[in-house]
């Protein structure tokens, strides 16, 4: 067991003075392992708060890279990260190391999918959602119920923030409240914009709820779906204190998302982009760079390669996954990938 040195004790002294945490709760935080899925706006804010609170081990999972448009709201990144197109998980790890080197940050540049979820989240005691899509959230929900592990749903768009605690066997799960993913068009920060204050509110609430679990105060955790619109000053709650008796996930334990049923191999991922999933097809980035140089502008680092041709920019990761910017046409994206990377 790690015992705080004088320096560590001083670092967290104001937090340990809070009666809800105290010295014993701080010890629990120092030995805790939490995971944050998504290192964008909500994830960066949540990870920063957890690291400053002294969480011992922090797993960060994100599939994306830093862009200039992120800097308005994604608090762990700077202009140099955007210029280098650093993967968000790695950029977050570096920033956290600069202000709290005691935290063991395990950064994974990956898309969370059924094939890797058990490996990536296996050691975490509680999982915080900071994703941008319901596909991954339903996957998290299945995994958490299967493992009997709590997770916290959180989202922000426009001036709107929403969050809910899911404690398997105790509270309602995501599928209890939303048996099916929302239909029709769903607003995103690309279509509705976003206030950085809404992001930070969602992250602050979910981090506080996670800390309640870690320090041994689960009875203090909220048992509702909380939503608020900061611009209109509107707050609402939906009771989520009990599982739904006919819920496919937590009552029937039908984990179809965890089995990967109906999971697409190519998906829209916002900002006029398409993501191509190729998880079992590793590529040699150096070899691809040499092959692509005659066809357009290529930049590469150890974690990704960026290829620009005409109006399109392809970001390729070592596992074969790619994001094509400049189109939302799935067919065009598939054709572009096959043409320049192969199929």
The answer to whether residues 37 and 136 touch, using CB atoms and an 8 Å cutoff, is: yes
Reading across the β-sheet that carries 104-109, which strands appear in turn? 104-109, 57-62, 33-37, 126-129, 151-157, 160-166, 224-229, 234-239
Q: What contacts 214, CB < 8 A, 6 or more positions away?
A: 25, 28, 29, 32, 34, 55, 125, 126
The answer to whether residues 306 and 315 touch, using CB atoms and an 8 Å cutoff, is: yes
CA–CA gap between residue 302 and residue 143 (Å, rounded)? 31
**What are the φ/ψ torsions at residue 290 (nearest 5 degrees)?**
-60, -35
Q: For residue 282, what are its two tokens?
A: 């590793």
Q: Mapping DSSP to helix (H, G, I), strand (E, B) and coil, where does residue 48 land?
A: helix
User: What b/e sequence results for 200-232 when a residue is b if at least 16 CB atoms lie within 10 Å of its CB, and e otherwise?
Assistant: bbbbbbbbbbbbbbbbeeeeebbbbbbbbebee
189 is catalytic: yes
Q: Given the residues 189, 228, 247, 250, select the one marked as catalytic.
A: 189
- Active site members: 189
């Amino acid at each position: 067991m790690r015992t705080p040195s004088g320096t560590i004790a001083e670092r967290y002294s104001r937090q340990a003075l809070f009666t809800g945490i105290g010295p014993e709760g701080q010890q629990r935080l120092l030995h805790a392992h939490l995971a944050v899925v998504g290192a964008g706006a909500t994830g960066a804010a949540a990870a920063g708060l957890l690291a400053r609170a002294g969480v011992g081990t922090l797993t960060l999972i994100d599939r994306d890279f830093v862009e200039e448009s992120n800097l308005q709201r994604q608090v762990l990144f700077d202009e140099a990260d955007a210029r280098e197109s650093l993967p968000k998980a790695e950029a977050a790890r570096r920033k956290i190391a600069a202000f709290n080197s005691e935290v063991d940050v395990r950064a994974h540049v990956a898309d969370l999918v059924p094939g890797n979820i058990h490996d990536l989240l296996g050691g975490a005691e509680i999982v915080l959602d900071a994703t941008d899509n319901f596909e991954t959230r339903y996957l998290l929900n299945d995994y958490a119920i299967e493992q009997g592990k709590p997770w916290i749903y959180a989202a922000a768009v426009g001036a709107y923030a929403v969050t809910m605690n899911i404690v398997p066997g105790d509270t309602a799960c995501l599928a209890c409240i939303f048996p099916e993913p929302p239909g029709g068009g769903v607003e995103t920060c690309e279509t509705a914009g976003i206030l950085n204050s809404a992001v930070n509110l969602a992250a602050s609430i979910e981090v506080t709820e996670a800390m309640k679990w870690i320090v041994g105060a689960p009875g203090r955790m909220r048992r509702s779906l909380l939503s608020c619109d900061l611009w209109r000053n509107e707050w609402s709650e939906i009771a989520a204190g009990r599982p739904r008796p006919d819920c496919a996930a937590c009552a029937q334990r039908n984990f179809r998302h965890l089995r990967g049923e109906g999971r697409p191999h190519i998906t829209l991922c916002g900002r006029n982009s398409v993501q191509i999933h190729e998880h079992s097809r590793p590529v040699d980035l150096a070899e691809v760079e040499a092959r692509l140089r005659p066809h357009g502008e290529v930049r590469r680092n150890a974690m990704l390669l960026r290829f620009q041709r005409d109006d399109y920019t392809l970001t390729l990761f070592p596992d074969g996954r790619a994001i094509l910017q400049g189109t939302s046409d799935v067919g065009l994206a598939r054709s572009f990938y096959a043409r320049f990377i192969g199929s």
